[in-house]
Every structure is written in C-alpha cells, then in structure tokens.
C-alpha cells in the first residue's frame, strides 16, 4: 500500500525539534509505527514486543540502551514501561539531544501513568487515530479509517474479525483481568448498537447479566484503548434545562459496522444505524482534526428537555462555537439546519459557525448556504471549516 501522508506529521516534527522524546499513542494498528519510520527514515528501529528484545532489556537495561543507535524508534513500549526512567536519565544527561527517543504505545492509560511519573517535561505526547477523510478519500463509514481496512477493502471483514480477536487477547487483558472474554465481545457489539445514543449503563448491563460497575469498568477500557468516544453535553445552559447524560460513539465507524454485521454499502444504507454511525463518523473526524493540529480533544453535544438537539458543539477559541448537524443523506435541505438555527438564536455572547455536514455526491455541486448563517459542507472539508471558524472574527 502506498504511503498516505499523515496530518499529524507537522506536529510530530515540531515536537521532535523541541523535546528529547516524543511518544505517539493511539489505538492498535492506527499507523503509529509507519508514521515514525516514514518521518524519521534514519532512526534505528527496535520492537519491544519481540521476546528477545524484551529479555535483553530486562537482563541489562543500561547495556541494551547503550547499543541503541540514536535517534531510535522504540515500538510498543507499553510492554516494558520500566524503560522510561532509564530514558529520562539519558535525556537529563544530554538535554540538547532533541528528537533522540521516538516511542510508540498502544494502550494510552497505562502508558500515560509511566509518562507522568517518569517523563514529565521531557517528552511530547501525541495521539494518532486512524485515517481521516481529509487524509484519504477511501475513508468511509463502512470501512472506517484503519490503514489495512482502507488499503484492502476486499478483505476488510476478515481484518476486522482478526482485529477484534487481537484486541481482546492483548489490549483488554493487558489493561485489566477480564475472565469472560466472550461476554466482553458481546458487550462490544451491544455498545455498537447504542452508538449515537445517550449513555445508559443499566441498559447495557441488563442484557449481559453483569453489574453497572462492571459496565463502567468495561467502558473505561474501551475509552482507554482508543475504541470509543464518550461525548459530554455542552456545559452552557443558554437559559434551558439540559440533558446531562453523555453520548457514546466509536472512534472508527468501520469497526462499529463490523460489530453490527454490516458488510456492504447496500446493507449500511438500509440499516437503522446509518444515521448514528454517520454522526459518530463526523464526531471522530472532528477529534482527529483537533489531535492532528496539536490541540486537545474538545467536543460536546447539546440537548435540552424540550427536545432541541444539536449533534456536535465544538469550541473554536474564545467565545466561538461551531454547531454541527451530521446528516448521512447526500441531499441536503434547509430543514436539516433548523436545530442549528434555533440554538444559534440563543447563544448570546458566542460567535457561532453553523454547519450541516454530509457525504456529498461525487462531482456534484451542493449549495453552500441552506439558511441564513448556516452552510452545508462535505465531511472531507470539515477540518478546513473548523480552522476557518477559529480564524473568523465577528458575525457570520
């Protein structure tokens, strides 16, 4: 598969010029290793999932690191988190050696614990998610953005099946001791069926015969390992009584489709899950753009007790908001912008950009303006629109 330029590359190179170490985290198989090896072709490479490499490090940590030629890529460091204090000591001895240690890790929470304890101020931490629609035109709701699923769509079903099995056997068991993996596999599919809905832990626990605390723990695992987004409600009331439960989405819509048994475009467009899956796809595109731009994840939704709901609310700087409705239809109508118009009238003091995001039609020219102050855009241009909202001054 031809290399696809990653939008995170600029932030990665900038971090390597500033910090002694750069740590790239994210879900398994999102492309972390490929990104580092392409961005730093002269760096030596060491896979810390290799039993021989792990054994050599544990037998003689200093000797192992003495033999590493810098700059060095140390891949999957969550397997040997005890390596971090040794790297910290070497950075402290040579503070001018920026970009010497390039590290990857698939399990964010255990890895971050070691980073905060050992590498504070010495390492930049970046998160890489699967391809965005802006990075590859092959990214879609059905196939998602994982590089292997995008690059070999004919075998995507088998790839997702293997991915789930690997995820269960490695990442889940590494994070916590779950004995009943079969029930956890059913839990994954159940969460996929609730994507786009407000999170109800009792509703998830009852069909599985597990407790609500167990569901809370399992949701934490999915979030920790980069599989789901839990999106809180927007905190500003705008004079309304708000729904306070968060919503849940999968980071990769292709994985959610696989868990729901959706394997063709025809099945997807017949599915009652199409709307929620597309909403999650757009939410993930927002988060990918934020992370790839070196900004923290900041995304919400809005719903009040009178039924007014806006799919996504994205802060875009001081007193600026982007309101987003995600519509899976390739045909957009002014009616789709009505919730944005209603909420936009009540956001006193905020500079609002209102967008209806949709897939679009190949070669078609969609009208950009739906209603006064509300534009329709295609999902592959969402990042550009978010950047424009951050730069904008004054009313739309």
Question: What's the CATH number where 234 sits?
Answer: 1.10.10.10
Question: What's the CATH number where 123 sits?
Answer: 3.40.50.300
| Region for 141 from its dihedrals, namely left if φ exceeds 0, alpha if ψ lies in -120 to 50, beta otherwise | alpha
Phi, psi of 133 (to 5 degrees): -65, -30
- Please give the distance of CA 168 from its chain centroid, rounded to a whole number: 19
Q: What is the pLDDT of residue 128?
A: 96
- 197: which DSSP letter? S
How many residues can be counted in the chain? 396
The answer to whether residues 155 and 283 belong to one domain is: yes
The answer to whether residues 151 and 280 belong to one domain is: yes
Domain boundary among 288, 315, 344: 288
Q: What is the pLDDT of residue 396?
A: 47
Q: What is the pLDDT of residue 249?
A: 97
The answer to whether residues 17 and 116 belong to one domain is: yes
β-bridge mates for residue 104, sequence order: 24
The answer to whether residues 266 and 321 belong to one domain is: no
Peptide bond into 71 cis (omega under 30): yes
> b/e for 189-203, b at 16 or more Cβ within 10 A?
ebbbbbbbebbebee
CA distance 46 to 57: 11
The answer to whether residues 252 and 362 belong to one domain is: no
Domain boundary among 80, 97, 127: 127
The answer to whether residues 44 and 89 belong to one domain is: yes
Report yes or no on 137 lying in a domain.
no
The pTM of the full predicted model, rounded to 2 decimals, is: 0.93
Q: What is the pLDDT of residue 247?
A: 96
> What one-character-per-residue DSSP string does 95-138 give?
TT-TT-EEEEES-HHHHHHHHHHH-TTTEEEEE-PSPPTTT-TT
Domain boundary among 62, 95, 127: 127
Q: What is the pLDDT of residue 15?
A: 97
β-bridge mates for residue 233, sequence order: 301
- Please give the distance of CA 344 from its chain centroid, rounded to a whole number: 27
> What one-character-per-residue DSSP string does 130-167 give?
SPPTTT-TT-BTTTBS-HHHHH-GGGHHHHHHHHHHHI
Report yes or no on 141 lying in a domain.
no
CB atoms within 10 A of CB 299: 20
Mark the ranges of the chain whose per-residue pLDDT is less than 70: 1, 107-112, 174-175, 177, 237, 239, 241, 361-368, 393-396
Q: What is the pLDDT of residue 311?
A: 96
The answer to whether residues 160 and 264 belong to one domain is: yes
The answer to whether residues 316 and 283 belong to one domain is: no
Q: What is the pLDDT of residue 110?
A: 65
Q: What is the pLDDT of residue 365?
A: 56
Q: What is the pLDDT of residue 348?
A: 76
The answer to whether residues 281 and 321 belong to one domain is: no
The answer to whether residues 47 and 87 belong to one domain is: yes
Quick check: 386 and 314 in contact, CB under 8 A? yes
β-bridge mates for residue 125, sequence order: 23
CB atoms within 10 A of CB 105: 24
Quick check: 383 and 285 in contact, CB under 8 A? yes
The answer to whether residues 123 and 20 belong to one domain is: yes
CA distance 234 to 350: 13
Q: What is the pLDDT of residue 239?
A: 63
Number of domains in the chain: 3
Neighbouring residues of 99: CB distance < 8 A, sequence distance ≥ 6: 16, 17, 19, 20, 22, 40, 71
CA distance 114 to 120: 9
At CA 92, angle to CA 90 and CA 98, rounded to 5? 80
β-bridge mates for residue 323, sequence order: 313, 354
| Domain that includes residue 249, residue range | 147-288
Cα dihedral 385, 388, 394, 396 sign: negative
């Amino acid at each position: 598969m031809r290399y696809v330029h990653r939008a995170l590359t600029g932030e990665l190179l900038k971090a390597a010029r500033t910090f002694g170490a750069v740590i790239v985290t994210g879900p398994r198989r999102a492309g972390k290793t490929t990104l580092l090896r392409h961005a730093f072709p002269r760096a030596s490479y060491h896979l810390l999932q290799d039993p021989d490499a792990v054994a050599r490090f544990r037998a003689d940590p200093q000797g192992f690191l003495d033999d590493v030629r810098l700059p060095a890529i140390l891949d999957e460091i969550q397997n040997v988190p005890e390596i971090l204090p040794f790297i910290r000591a070497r950075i402290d001895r040579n503070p001018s050696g920026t970009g010497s240690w390039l590290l990857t890790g698939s399990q964010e929470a255990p890895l971050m614990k070691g980073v905060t304890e050992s590498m504070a101020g010495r390492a930049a931490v970046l998160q890489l998610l699967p391809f965005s629609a802006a990075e590859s035109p092959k990214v879609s709701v059905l196939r998602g953005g994982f590089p292997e699923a995008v690059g070999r769509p004919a075998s995507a079903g088998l790839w997702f099946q293997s991915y789930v099995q690997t995820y269960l056997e490695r990442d889940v068991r590494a994070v916590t001791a779950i004995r009943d993996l079969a029930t956890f596999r059913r839990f994954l599919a159940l969460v996929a069926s609730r994507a786009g809905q407000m999170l109800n832990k009792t509703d998830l626990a009852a069909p599985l015969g597990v407790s609500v605390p167990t569901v809370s723990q399992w949701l934490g695992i999915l979030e920790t390992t980069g599989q789901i987004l839990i999106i809180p409600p927007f905190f500003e009331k705008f004079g309304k009584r708000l729904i306070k439960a968060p919503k849940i989405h999968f980071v990769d819509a292709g994985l959610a489709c696989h868990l729901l048994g959706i394997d063709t475009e025809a099945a997807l467009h017949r599915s009652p899950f199409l709307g929620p899956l597309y909403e999650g796809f757009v939410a993930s595109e927002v988060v990918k753009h934020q992370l790839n731009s070196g900004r923290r994840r900041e995304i919400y939704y809005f719903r009040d007790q009178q039924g007014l709901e806006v799919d996504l609310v994205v802060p875009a700087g001081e007193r600026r908001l982007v309101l987003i409705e995600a519509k899976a239809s390739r045909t957009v109508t002014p009616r789709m912008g009505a919730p944005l118009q209603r909420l936009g009238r009540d956001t006193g003091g905020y500079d609002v950009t209102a967008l209806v995001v949709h897939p679009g039609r190949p070669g078609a020219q969609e009208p950009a303006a739906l209603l006064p102050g509300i534009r329709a855009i295609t999902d592959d241009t969402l990042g550009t629109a978010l950047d424009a909202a951050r730069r904008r001054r004054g009313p739309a």
